Amino acid sequence: MYEETSKIPDSRTAHFSLALENRGFELLSEIGHGSFANVYLISSKKHQMRFVAKVIDLSRTNKSGLSDTFKSEIYSLTQLIHPNIISIFDHFIFEDCLFLILEYCPGGTLNDYLKANGPIPKQTLYVLAYEMLLSLHFCQKRGIAHRDIKPSNIFIDKYGRAKLADFGFATMNEKICETYAGSLPFMPLEILHLSPYDPMKADIWSLGITFYLMATGTLPYLPKSANNLAMLIATREPFYSELIEKEFAVIIKSMLRSNPQDRASIDSILETPLFKKVRNEYKVDRNSKNPTLRRCRRGSGMTPINNMNIPKIASVGSVGSISFSSKKSMSPLMNKSRLRPSFLQTTFYEVPDSKIV
Which residue ranges make up the annotated binding site for ATP?
Answer: 54
Diameter over CA atoms, the chain: 57
What are the Cα distances from residue 101, in Å, to 4, 74, 87, 262?
17, 10, 9, 39
What are the Cα distances from residue 271, in Å, to 162, 179, 193, 208?
20, 32, 31, 16
Give phi and psi for 229, each to the nearest 5. Answer: -65, -40
Q: 27 pairs with which residues across the strands?
A: 42
Which residues define the annotated binding site? 54
Q: 43 pairs with which residues across the strands?
A: 26, 50
CA 196 to chain centre: 23
Helix (H, G, I), strand (E, B) or coil at 144: strand
How far apart, in whole angstroms, are the C-alpha atoms of residue 93 and residue 80?
22
Decide if 31 contacts 284 (C-beta within 8 A): no
In terms of DSSP H, where are the helices of 159-263?
Answer: 189-192, 199-216, 226-235, 246-255
Decide if 165 contacts 136 (C-beta within 8 A): no
Where does residue 160 fall: left (phi above 0), alpha (psi -120 to 50 degrees), or beta otherwise? left
How far apart, in whole angstroms, are the C-alpha atoms of residue 163 and residue 171?
19
CA 123 to chain centre: 22
CA triple 304-306-311, angle to 5 deg: 115
How far apart, in whole angstroms, are the C-alpha atoms of residue 258 and residue 310?
39
What are the Cα distances from residue 342, in Å, to 183, 290, 329?
16, 36, 14
In terms of DSSP H, where are the helices of 224-324?
Answer: 226-235, 246-255, 266-270, 273-281
